[in-house]
Amino acid sequence: MFDINFPELAVVGIIALLVIGPKRLPEMARTAGKWLGKARRMVERFRADMDREFKTDELRNLLTQQQEEMQELRKIVQETRGTLDDAGQQLESLASPGAAQPATPAQIAQPGDSPPHGGAAPHP
């Protein structure tokens, strides 16, 4: 975290021993340790909050994307429903008793056509 190696730490310790004195040095070391612990916890909480915010943003983006896909699927379902309703109405109109019956092959035949039974055509 601070990139302090052992010789540098030893120099700081010797200077602290000379300035603070041997009686107050353990108390000051405890105080420094407490402050260092608080700083580490604060950094860790900050990091956790940032991670949570990033995850929240990712979830929000995912939710927006899924909502757009749901809108597209609803549109497809509505179009399919409309098509099926139209086809059902056409089938109902064909199946109703008042509807025109489909033409039989004899009704479709033109006057100049050969008869359906394969016989000879009448002479004029």
Q: What is the pLDDT along the chain (124 residues), one digit of tens a residue?
A: 567 788 888 888 888 888 888 888 889 889 989 999 999 999 999 999 999 988 999 999 999 999 999 999 999 999 999 999 999 898 888 887 665 555 555 555 555 555 555 555 555 5
- Confidence (pLDDT) at 107: 56
Phi, psi of 101 (to 5 degrees): -80, 150
The answer to the question of residue 61 being in a domain is: yes
- Confidence (pLDDT) at 46: 94
Task: Tell me if residue 101 falls in helix, strand or coil.
Answer: coil
* Tokens found for residue 24: 């107050």
Look at the block and give the residue holding tokens 């943003």: 57
The answer to the question of residue 101 being in a domain is: no
pTM surpassing 0.85?
no
The domain of 79 spans: 6-85
16, burial (CB in 10 Å: exposed 0-12, middle 13-18, buried 19+): middle
The answer to the question of residue 17 being in a domain is: yes
- Confidence (pLDDT) at 115: 54
- What is the rounded CA–CA span in Å between residue 112 and residue 33? 113
Query: What are the respective helix, strand and coil percentages of the chain, to the nearest 5?
Result: 75, 0, 25
- Confidence (pLDDT) at 118: 53
- Confidence (pLDDT) at 113: 52
- Confidence (pLDDT) at 98: 60
- What is the rounded CA–CA span in Å between residue 31 and residue 4? 19
The answer to the question of residue 98 being in a domain is: no
